[in-house]
Structure 1
């Protein structure tokens, strides 16, 4: 099922309410952005096209009334729906005066939420005709990402999300098993949008020793630690204006997570050994094959950082759940390695392709690419079944043999060795480690 065209921003400092709202809205195929503070919500509004704002009223530092008034003046075409756990007549009047078009009291049912959202979006459709709206709708080029191959519904949904986020700097978290193509998604977001001329800086957080990760990310000044003979910029500074891709974010220490959180909140970083902060303007895309929610529960990943990273989340399904994409992926890799290794196009037999479609690919797309690469090298112009590894092919699960008496088992083994050596008793006795006489007696028995 396709995503609906509307983008909904939900703002609430209660993480459970935030997650519940996102879950309901996603079930109706809305695309959602989420924020836990007014400051973060304003940042998303400036960078993204929003069709509906859903906000709580009572929040720390700056409340929802301030956000409503801000949106009313800066983005008058965006309808405002208020949800609150502290209903009052005065609060309702104040909310309406501030520019809200809807008012929903906690606790509310899923159907009540749906009704309120639909009514609010009706006013959004009218607001779209106003000339004073400052947000420009994005063009529809979903699916125009050359490196992403496939026609599954899951990939189509990801195309739609990429189309929505490619021209803004909302923080994105990509999750999925190893080998599903998380970095490819990050690159597609960066290079298909208006920031493609800026730097794309990939960082494997799991490939840098923990003791060095902080210095590599944020840079350091001369004398910050032993061996720091001069000042050096980090990956944040290198990606300024563009995109910083933090792969395997789950492998970062709690100390690094704390600094990442500050960088996301304040849009500034401080080099190791320095007291002076530097402003940065970039988009952060993080990725992991781990379960960050479980890590949050265990205390190994900061909950506040998790919610900062998941303004937009993209979940990549494993290849076994989108086997319809396998033929196109095989075609892509056949072309790539056929040209590289054989200077020509390489085909594949229907039987070989059927075997590849049947296999479950625990290593996902990375494993598929490696198998095709090997097959192209081994084939003579067309990939056949014999060019595929045995692990992909059908295997017979033989049942375990019944247990036999030791003498019968010994007799079977003696006959097997004799048959192998053409009934040469001298050779068989040598292999068995017994004398020829002993072998003859055992055979008589």
Structure 2
């Protein structure tokens, strides 16, 4: 039976050592590729299916640890073996933590290398687990977490849910401001009354005004009949004004009167009508700064900001990330008929490391995508590239002439399988000059 040869990539900045290494590995009946820098290695990984990466640690510009981390997440099926002249405990620990399956100290025999290669290829078995099976989940009205911020938030919600005090929820987009507003409403004494959400940033000024306060027949072109506004529709319950910072000054002025007088006047009418409604506002703008700049009314700010809730971005409460992931996995696994799906532990490490600029909304979208793209197990292959580890690339125009020349010579030598005569011809230099440059 014929078995496909394994593809091995060897990375070392010492060109003579690299060639010696390649000859030794070829003699063990493996297909070999070589690179003298991390950037070259990444190009090989992108263009070939590599079964094993063998890399030195101490290399200029970008070291082998960075390459190990990058390969671990972008090419998780490749085994990783470190060969190094450095034998400190710290370097070995760092290499293993970065995904290396074995650590070989130079110099070594051909037999030791053969055993290390075989061992690394055999160990490279991905094991998926139910990564959140032992996590303790806490939730309240659909809000999930176990962090101190989560507990403080739930405490505030419980204190305000049974009264009609004005609440301002501030925080970044995607942090669940509407979910908090709904928790206040549906967990309190007003639960059976209307809850109406209004996106103040999603409607033009004139339309927002008519939607909020209503109008009488003939108030403007197209007003063929009278209509009550959302404040009246929410009577007895809660109106949630999302993105309140985007409301125009005209709307802000009318909102102030509504809060102060507890009454509204429809557009085109001179009669005021009493209302009985709790107002919850939310924004991802800094209203304090807007007050200073004169773009938000100071008197309105203090009227809506009786109770202030500031949501915590997901990056500041890592204890909640995997709990939320668990919830979304259950939700979308059921939706897409994959109830037994699991997630590789390495994926959870990526989720914990990411800064989540889009917060909970971004996490939910990522989980949904990975559920769709996977079968029984979510692995690193299903994680979007932008979440994975990235090596800071040196900008080409900042490289020295010597560095650029070295990279070009190495690429040519690799392309002609180390045939120096062919390489010298392509480079338009004699073989003696090429040998001198190689020695340097």
Fold shared, TM-score > 0.5 on shorter chain: yes
Aligned to 2:199: 204
2:371 pairs with 1:391: no
Deviation at 1:417, TM superposition (A): 9.1
Deviation at 1:412, TM superposition (A): 6.8
2:243 pairs with 1:227: no
Equivalent residue in structure 1 for 2:168, among 152, 167, 173: 173
Check 1:441–1:345 CA distance in 2 against 1; reply closer, same or farther (3 A cut).
closer
Inter-partner Cα distance in structure 2 for 1:315 and 1:441? 65
Check 1:364–1:443 CA distance in 2 against 1; reply closer, same or farther (3 A cut).
same
Aligned to 2:213: 218
Q: Do 2:198 and 2:240's aligned partners in 1 also have CA atoms closer than 8 Å? A: yes
Deviation at 1:396, TM superposition (A): 1.4
Equivalent residue in structure 1 for 2:261, among 261, 266, 286: 266
Inter-partner Cα distance in structure 2 for 1:332 and 1:274? 49
CA distances 1:175-213 after superposition (whole Å, capped 9, x unpaired): 000000000000011010111111110000000012211
Inter-partner Cα distance in structure 2 for 1:191 and 1:421? 72
Query: Residue 183 of structure 1: SS of its match in structure 2?
Result: helix
RMSD value over aligned CA atoms?
A: 2.6
TM, length-normalised to structure 1? 0.60
Check 1:412–1:261 CA distance in 2 against 1; reply closer, same or farther (3 A cut).
same
Deviation at 1:365, TM superposition (A): 0.3
Inter-partner Cα distance in structure 2 for 1:345 and 1:278? 56
Query: Residue 342 of structure 1: SS of its match in structure 2?
Result: coil
Runs (5+) with no aligned partner, structure 1: 1-142, 423-439
Inter-partner Cα distance in structure 1 for 2:267 and 2:226? 10
Q: After the TM superposition, list the runs of 4 or more consecutive aligned residues in structure 1 that deviate by more than 4 angstroms.
A: 408-422
Inter-partner Cα distance in structure 1 for 2:199 and 2:415? 54
Q: Show the 5 A alignment for 1:134-173.
A: 145-173=140-168
Deviation at 1:419, TM superposition (A): 7.9
Deviation at 1:366, TM superposition (A): 0.3
Deviation at 1:443, TM superposition (A): 3.5
Query: Residue 336 of structure 2: SS of its match in structure 1?
Result: helix
Check 1:144–1:267 CA distance in 2 against 1; reply closer, same or farther (3 A cut).
farther
Deviation at 1:385, TM superposition (A): 1.5
Inter-partner Cα distance in structure 2 for 1:226 and 1:416? 73
Q: Do 2:139 and 2:145's aligned partners in 1 also have CA atoms closer than 8 Å? A: no
Inter-partner Cα distance in structure 2 for 1:397 and 1:329? 30
Equivalent residue in structure 1 for 2:240, among 238, 245, 252: 245
**Structure with the greater relative contact order (CA < 8 A, sep ≥ 6): 1 or 2?**
2
Q: Show the 5 A alignment for 1:26-425.
A: 145-400=140-395, 402-405=398-401
Deviation at 1:397, TM superposition (A): 1.7
Deviation at 1:382, TM superposition (A): 2.2
Inter-partner Cα distance in structure 2 for 1:331 and 1:228? 49
Query: Residue 393 of structure 2: SS of its match in structure 1?
Result: coil
Check 1:144–1:326 CA distance in 2 against 1; reply closer, same or farther (3 A cut).
closer
Inter-partner Cα distance in structure 2 for 1:442 and 1:351? 44
CA distances 1:27-76 after superposition (whole Å, capped 9, x unpaired): xxxxxxxxxxxxxxxxxxxxxxxxxxxxxxxxxxxxxxxxxxxxxxxxxx
Instruction: Give the paired residue count.
Output: 287
Runs (5+) with no aligned partner, structure 2: 1-137, 418-424, 431-440
Deviation at 1:398, TM superposition (A): 3.4
Inter-partner Cα distance in structure 1 for 2:340 and 2:214? 46
Inter-partner Cα distance in structure 1 for 2:360 and 2:139? 20
TM, length-normalised to structure 2? 0.61
